[in-house]
A and B are shown apart, each in its own frame.
Chain A
Amino acid sequence: MNTTTLQSPATTTPSSRPPIGSSRRRGVPSPSIIGKIVVLAVATFLTLGPVIWTLWTSLTPQVAGTDRTDFGLSAYLDVFNQVDMALLVWNSALVTGLCAFGQMFTAALAGYTFAKIDFRGSRALFAIVLATMMVPMQVTIVPVFMLIRGMGLSDTLLALILPAIPTAFGTFLMRQYFLGLPAELAEAAAIDGASPFRTFVSVYAPLAMPGLAIVGILAFNYHWNEFFRPLIMTISEQNFTLPLGLVSLQGNLGTGSVSTVLAGVVLSMIPALIVFVFGQRPLREGLTAGTSK
């Protein structure tokens, strides 16, 4: 409030200000601010509009033979009838869950080691791990595919999970997080006779939970939505994940029922939406982590 009253005389130049007085001075928005809010509102409408349209269309399926659209859940029933939606959800949940958990686990261990244990070659090793972040997936996908084939894992969900568990970005993030925790904690634990392992498990790991939440949420968001790798690694429909299943559902139906496909899309959005609502802050922090100077 204070800054508003301080700044408004300067930003809204004298000429256009009607001399009405008190209510104006208390911070009734100036025309330029209203213009900006209108632009932001239009942008928000364009951003959320397609999502709302998706939800609306999925709830008003076209009934065959009539022009009338009925409000109802029949499109959702259709999704479950026409594709094995339960299986798609299960596959996606399994892959996403194991990737997220695996990444949290390995990143916590590696991040802690790089941050808190001094050993020869530590810096060089960390630099190599970090450098792999810059290699796009498309370069390694062919050899990874062959490796998976060689391991006898092609067309299994493990083909999606195993290569995704070691995470350079997660390691980087957790290293930063552990660096931020004071070294005095380890000294105190050592004086109390705790082993290095015990120090990690009882002292540092619990404190690193917020950092781990970021790793987990990002992994969840990424793998729940992933399309490229599942498209390559899975062949049979019983190994499809949701995004892949939905795209093939659209292919099956052709120009058929839009509502059915959109019902599937809405179902696939629900977990992402839950993460968005409850994990917005960690999500934002995770996305922009390591980007500041």
Chain B
Amino acid sequence: MTVTAPTRPQLEPTAAPHAVTGRRATRARKLMAGAFLAPTVIGITLFTLVPIVASILLAFFRWDIISSPKFVGVDNFVEMGTDPTVRVAFLNTIGFVIVAVTLQLAVALGLAVFVQSKMPSWLRTFFRSALFFPLILSAASVSLVMAYLFNQDFGLVNAALALIGLPAVPWLTSPGGAMVVVILVYVWQNFGFSFLLFVGGLASIPKDVYEASSIDGVTGWRQFRNITLPLVSPTLLVASVMAIISALQIFDQPYVLTRGGPGDSTRTAVMVIFESAFQQLQFGRASAIGIVLTLLIMGVTALQFRLSRRFVFYQ
């Protein structure tokens, strides 16, 4: 500071010509900023911001595209509460999220802890890569494959059960079985994402914490509960928020596996949006359901961040 201070006045005489180019450069830079931002800003305005507003407005209308829209107030929202299909779809979605996310996080964290233990580095790399592999596949293709594997008559899963003397399970044709398959297929494909987050989170825990606790005789499960879990809790928060947000939007797996059936047993909130809009041409109703789903996502996320103040431990 003391060195640079005297040099400043010296620069001032030459500052005048610089200021001119500087101002011109600023204008050029402003022009460039406008041109560079235009595609993104116009695109997001057109395809996200305007649609959000349109969707909110549309939720108060009844519209089938053919006849002109009719204002119905909050009817669309009221109907949601009384329509058993919509109610069941939301209950299915919430139940699915609770079970699938819990399973996904537990499997991911457990495997991430295991993969961090001492082993040859090539083996660790292999496990790490293999376990997130399903993430890159298309949910539709995966569901096609799984539909064959869980087929009651010729599926490999029932064939395996038969080997150990168990009867064939009507996986996709019974309400409970279908939901179990949807959950398993979803978790199979998505646990790798949480796994990646946990591997990153665990790697940032300093090694000496473990060394110190091992010397004190704290190992195994107690070490996990009292040391790993608190130290990985920030990652757990992020992983759970992201897992819940994405699970609440589940569509591809139940659509391909069961089309929502048998009955309404695997119908999800997004599936009802899709059916309302593009099969029954009730665009207002679809918008209303979409808004409720969004509020649910925002509410759960906010709640998680509130709760996290008590459970998340920052180093």
Per-residue CB proximity of A109-142 to B under 8 Å, as 1/0? 1101110010100100100110010111111111
Which residue on B lies nearest to A12, using beta carbons? B219
Q: Are B130 and A47 in contact (CB-based, < 8 A)? A: yes
Smallest Cβ distance from B112 to chain A, in angstroms? 10
Task: Contact check, B144 vs A166: say whether CB atoms are below 8 A apart.
Answer: no
Which residues, 243 to 294 on B, are CB-close (under 8 Å) to A? 245, 248-249, 251-252, 255-256, 269-270, 273-274, 277-278, 283, 286-287, 290-291, 293-294
CB distance from B122 to the nearest CB of A (A): 13
CB of A10 closer than 8 Å to a CB of B: yes
A-chain residues with CB within 8 Å of residue B192 when the two chains form the complex? 47
Partner of B36, one of A112, A136, A140, A276: A112
B39 touches A109 (CB 8 A): yes
Q: Would you call B25 and A196 a contact (CB within 8 A)?
A: yes
* Residues in A neighbouring B207, C-beta threshold 8 A: 3
Report chain A residues within 8 Å CB of B146.
Answer: 50
B132 at the binding interface (Cβ < 8 Å): yes
Given contacts A232-B274, A288-B197, contact A48 B36 (CB under 8 A): no
**B contact residues around A276 at 8 Å (CB):** 129, 133, 136
CB <8 Å contact, B43 and A106: yes
**Cα A167 to Cα B278 with chains together (Å):** 25
Judged by a CB distance under 8 angstroms, whether A15 is at the interface is: no
Q: Which one of A54, A109, A114, A136 contacts B293 once the chains associate, using CB atoms below 8 Å?
A: A136
Which residue of the partner chain, among A44, A112, A231, A293, contacts B234 with CB atoms under 8 Å? Answer: A293
Q: Give Cα A254–Cα B51 distance, bound, in whole angstroms.
A: 38
Stretch at the interface among B5-13, B26-34, B73-81, B84-92: B26-34
- Contact, CB under 8 Å: B127 / A40: yes
Contact between A225 and B47, CB atoms less than 8 A apart: no
Residues in B with CB closer than 8 Å to A106 are: 39-40, 43
> Is A79 in the interface zone, CB < 8 Å from B?
no
Interface size on A, residues (CB 8 A): 99
Taking the complex as formed, is A63 at the interface, i.e. its CB lies under 8 A from any CB of chain B?
no
Do residues A48 and B133 form an inter-chain contact, with CB atoms below 8 A?
yes
A209 in contact (CB, < 8 A)? no
A53 within 8 A of B: yes
Q: Given A8-B118, A29-B118, A50-B146, 18 other A-B contacts at CB below 8 A?
A: A10-B211, A33-B119, A39-B110, A44-B127, A106-B40, A117-B30, A117-B36, A139-B287, A139-B290, A142-B287, A147-B46, A196-B29, A227-B138, A232-B274, A244-B140, A262-B145, A265-B141, A269-B141
Can you list 25 A-B contacts with CB-CB less than 8 angstroms, sorted by A residue number? A7-B214, A33-B118, A33-B119, A46-B188, A47-B134, A47-B192, A50-B146, A109-B35, A117-B32, A125-B37, A129-B40, A139-B55, A140-B51, A142-B273, A142-B287, A146-B54, A146-B65, A200-B32, A225-B141, A262-B144, A276-B129, A284-B196, A288-B196, A291-B242, A292-B200
